[in-house]
Amino acid sequence: MDQNQMSTADLVSVIIPARNEEQTIAKVVEEAKQIAEHIEIVVISNGTKDRTAQLAQQAGARVIQMDASLGHDVGRAVGAYFAKGNILLFIDADFVIPAYILRKYVEDVQQGWDIVLNSYSGNKTKKQIHSTSVAKRLLNKMLGRPDLVGSSLTTVPHALNRKAVEVIGYADLAIPPKAQVKAVLNQLKIKRAHFINTARFNKRRVGRREDVISLVLGDHLEAICYLLDQRGSRAELTDFLRKRELLRLPGENHLRWIYGRE
C-alpha cells in the first residue's frame, strides 16, 4: 500500500454543517483538528449570511459553500459525499465538544463498530418524556433494538465508517431515523457509547423549536413507513395472544358474528 492509500485509510473526516455560526465555528474546527493525526474538517456552509465560511477556512477547514439553505440535516449528506476519510464523525457548529471526547467515537469505529451513537436519549422530566424522545425509543423498539433506548442518528455526535455510509446511501443520511432503520436492517454493528447532553448546549433559535420538533417527528414517521414496507404491516412484531383469524368465518359477515346481529 502506497503512502496515499495509507493516509486515506487512516483519514478521519469531521463533518460540520453550519449556518451563521461565526461566534463558535473557529473554536469547533480547532478542537476537531486535534482528534486524530490524519484528519480533514469539512464544513458545509448552509446558506450562511455571516463570516462562518471565511472563519472556518481560516481555521483550516475545507468549506463546501451552499448559497441557499438546504434545511435541517441535509448538510450531513452533502458533507459525507465530499468527505474522503474512512471514518466520518458528525458534529454541529454551534457548540464546542472537547477533542478528547470526540476521539472516543473515532476509536470505537477503529475497533470495529460500524456506527457509534451518543448515548443521550433525549429530554426527560419527572412528569414526561419529550415527544421526539418517545419517537426515538419507539423506532428502536420496532427495530428490535431496545438496547439503544433513545440513541439516534438524529443526535450528534455520531461516527460511521465508510461501509456504513455506503450501505445507507448519502441521500438517506439527510433523514437520520430512516438511515438508522437501514443500518439495522443491514445488520451493521451499532454501539451506544459516550454521553453528551446536547440539549444543554444547542443554541436556542427563536421560532425554530416547534418547526424542528415537527421535522423530527415527520422523519420518524417516514422511517417507520420504510420499516413497514420492508418487514410487513407489523414490522415482524408478534400478535402475541390475539387470534384475529378466528373473527373471520368462511362465508360469514364477521361483524354480524361478533355482535350476534343480522
In a domain, 184, yes or no: yes
How would residue 127 be classed by pLDDT, with cut points 50, 70 and 90?
Answer: low
Query: Rounded to whole angstroms, how far apart are CA atoms 214 and 178?
Result: 16
Compare 9 and 3 and report the one with higher pLDDT: 9
Statement: residue 125 has pLDDT above 70: no
Query: Rounded to whole angstroms, how far apart are CA atoms 241 and 29?
Result: 55
Statement: residue 39 has pLDDT above 70: yes
Statement: residue 6 has pLDDT above 50: no
pLDDT of residue 207: 46
Asked whether 172 and 164 are in contact (CB, 8 A), the reply is: no
Please report the DSSP string for 173-199 in residue order: GGSHHHHHHHHHHTT--EEE-----GG
**Amino acid (one-letter) located at 61:** A
Asked whether 20 and 52 are in contact (CB, 8 A), the reply is: yes
Pairing outcome for strands 62-66 and 39-46: parallel
pLDDT of residue 122: 79
In a domain, 256, yes or no: no
Statement: residue 167 has pLDDT above 70: yes
Query: Rounded to whole angstroms, how far apart are CA atoms 12 and 164?
Result: 14
Compare 194 and 261 and report the one with higher pLDDT: 194
Query: Rounded to whole angstroms, how far apart are CA atoms 112 and 109?
Result: 5
Q: How many Cβ atoms sit within 10 Å of the Cβ of residue 30?
A: 15
pLDDT, average across residues 23-29: 98
Asked whether 16 and 52 are in contact (CB, 8 A), the reply is: no
pLDDT, average across residues 30-55: 97
**Amino acid (one-letter) located at 11:** L
Statement: residue 1 has pLDDT above 60: no
User: Would you state the cell numbers that stand for residue 107, as one nine-digit string?
Assistant: 476509536
User: Would you state the cell numbers that stand for residue 201, as one nine-digit string?
Assistant: 448546549
Asked whether 145 and 184 are in contact (CB, 8 A), the reply is: yes
How would residue 159 be classed by pLDDT, with cut points 50, 70 and 90?
Answer: very high
The DSSP secondary-structure symbol of 210 reads H
The string of pLDDT tens digits covering residues 50-89 is 999 999 999 999 999 999 999 889 999 999 999 999 999 9
pLDDT, average across residues 134-141: 97
How would residue 9 be classed by pLDDT, with cut points 50, 70 and 90?
Answer: confident
In a domain, 40, yes or no: yes
How would residue 166 be classed by pLDDT, with cut points 50, 70 and 90?
Answer: very high
In a domain, 21, yes or no: yes
pLDDT, average across residues 113-127: 81
* Chain CA centroid to CA 75, Å: 12
Compare 153 and 239 and report the one with higher pLDDT: 153
The count of residues in the chain is 262
Check whether the bond before 176 is cis (ω within 30° of 0): no
CATH number at residue 51: 3.90.550.10
Domain that holds residue 240: 8-247
Query: Rounded to whole angstroms, how far apart are CA atoms 113 and 171?
Result: 22
Asked whether 135 and 215 are in contact (CB, 8 A), the reply is: no
In a domain, 253, yes or no: no
The string of pLDDT tens digits covering residues 175-225 is 999 999 999 999 999 999 999 998 776 655 544 566 889 999 999 999 999
In a domain, 260, yes or no: no
**Amino acid (one-letter) located at 141:** K
Helix boundaries (H) for the chain: 3-10, 25-32, 52-58, 74-82, 99-110, 131-142, 162-168, 176-185, 209-231, 254-259
Domain count, the chain: 1
Report the mean per-residue pLDDT for the chain.
89
pLDDT of residue 3: 40
pLDDT of residue 2: 43
In a domain, 258, yes or no: no
pLDDT of residue 259: 53
In a domain, 2, yes or no: no
